[in-house]
Amino acid sequence: MSDMRGRGRSSVLAWLPSLLATIALGACATPVASTESPPAPESNASGSAPFASVAASPTAGDVGAVGTLVATLPTHSPRDVETAFGSVWVSNGPAATVTRIDPSTRSAIATISVPDPASVLAAGDHAMWLTSYPGNSLTRIDANTNTATKTVSLASAGSGPVGVTVADGFVWVANHDGSPVTSVAKVDPSTMAIVDVIPVGSSSDSGPSWLAFGAGSVWTDVPSLNAVVRIDPKTDKVIATTPVAGACGAVAATDAAVWVAGGSDDGCAPVIERIDPKTNHVRATIDLPSGANPLAIDPDSVWFGMAGAVGRVDPAADTVTGQLSVPGTPFGEAVGFGFVWLSDRDSDAVYVVRPD
């Protein structure tokens, strides 16, 4: 989130300023499709309803278009989007629901009620995990029954949970606010008890935002440090802090690279940066025409969203290969089932892009 030192909560979350104004956070997920075996979808009491998909073509004037916008799915107050268990999952912010979508029919197969406004999603340990920034909570969703099975308060670990990831047998939550300092919480997925709280950051706000797992470590961007922090999940210790030009957007990771989007808020850098986990140094800084926020990765590409477009980076060359116009501004992003899925909270829509 670029140089955010000294900024208050209202501007810390990069492309989420109005999110905090309405206290209904949502963001990009850890952007790798789950490799877990998908359980058979089962609708809950809310039933299922098809979306009215609207097909679209690349807008004239796209330079180096990298795919085709094949559908727009009307979705109520979408925030994060994740692919896992044979489905696409969308958190619905202030609606306090999570929508499960069949990627083959692009229809909703379940609408899952949760206790608090729905923020960020992650998949792992046979479940979906959901943070609530305004509710200061973590919820477990059973992917077999499409029900929220347990919600726990994160108040003892901090406040303002944003990013979440599942790695090394635990659930990790980014506490954007805290006292005396911000932190990352380590949660036992079987009991949902907080087993450790790792101080990360230099103040009581503007702390860890998004989380990703790669190269054997948990990674988080920290606006108060203007850096990406690396945590050893075995020792729960910070083992590296990498300064970056912009730490306002999402973080994505593989064993070979860690990517951070600069963000689009005032003062953020319109860049995507690549960190080499072997050296913990920035290997490449990729300039963009405007600020990027969500990220998603597949074996051949790094996908990013910015105002009115989705773009593609070739990780072999660390260059932007092109971009495709979309009707609005992507807010969350995931890759799976042969498509790129992007949520647009301002337009109440999920965009489906077929890569070229």
Residue 117 lies in a domain: yes
Residue 89 has pLDDT above 60, yes or no: yes
CA angle, 329 as apex, 326 and 333 as ends, to 5°? 85
* Average pLDDT for 41-51: 39
Beta strands 309-314 and 301-306 are antiparallel
Closest CA to 26 of 109, 86, 94, 89: 94
Closest by CA to 340, choosing from 313, 307, 304, 315, is 304
Give the integer Cα–Cα distance in Å for 19 and 169: 31
The CATH number of residue 248's host domain is: 2.130.10.10
Q: How do residues 161-190 score in pLDDT, each as one tens digit?
A: 999 999 999 999 999 999 889 999 999 999
What distance lies between CA 77 and its chain's CA centroid? 16
Domain containing residue 71 = 9-296+317-338
Is residue 312, in this structure, part of any structural domain at all?
Answer: no
Segment 78-92 mean pLDDT:
98
Looking at 5-136, list the stretches that DSSP marks H as alpha helix, in order from N- to C-terminal side: 9-12, 17-22
First to last CA, the chain: 30
Distance between CA atoms of 183 and 169, rounded to whole angstroms?
19
How confident is the model at residue 43, as a pLDDT?
A: 37
Mean pLDDT along residues 260-282: 91
Look up the pTM and report it. 0.85
d(CA 136, CA 23): 11
Q: Is residue 304 part of a domain?
A: no
Q: pLDDT for 220-230, tens place per residue?
A: 999 889 999 99
Q: Is residue 238 part of a domain?
A: yes
User: H/E element holding 53?
Assistant: none
Please spell the DSSP secondary structure of 193-229, one letter per residue.
-EEEEEE-SSSSSS----EEEETTEEEEEETTTTEEE
Number of domains forming the structure of the chain: 1
- Say if residue 48's pLDDT is above 60: no
- Does residue 275 carry a pLDDT above 80? yes
Residue 61 lies in a domain: yes
User: What's the pLDDT at 248?
Assistant: 85
In the predicted structure, residue 82 carries a pLDDT above the cut 60: yes
Task: Name the residue among 224, 231, 286 with its Cα closest to residue 259.
Answer: 286
User: Is 350 among the domain residues?
Assistant: no
Q: Are 142 and 125 in contact (CB under 8 A)?
A: no
* Any domain includes 184: yes
In a domain? residue 310: no
| 77/93 Cα distance (integer angstroms) | 6
113-172 pLDDT tens trace: 999 999 999 999 999 999 999 999 999 999 999 999 999 999 988 899 999 999 999 999
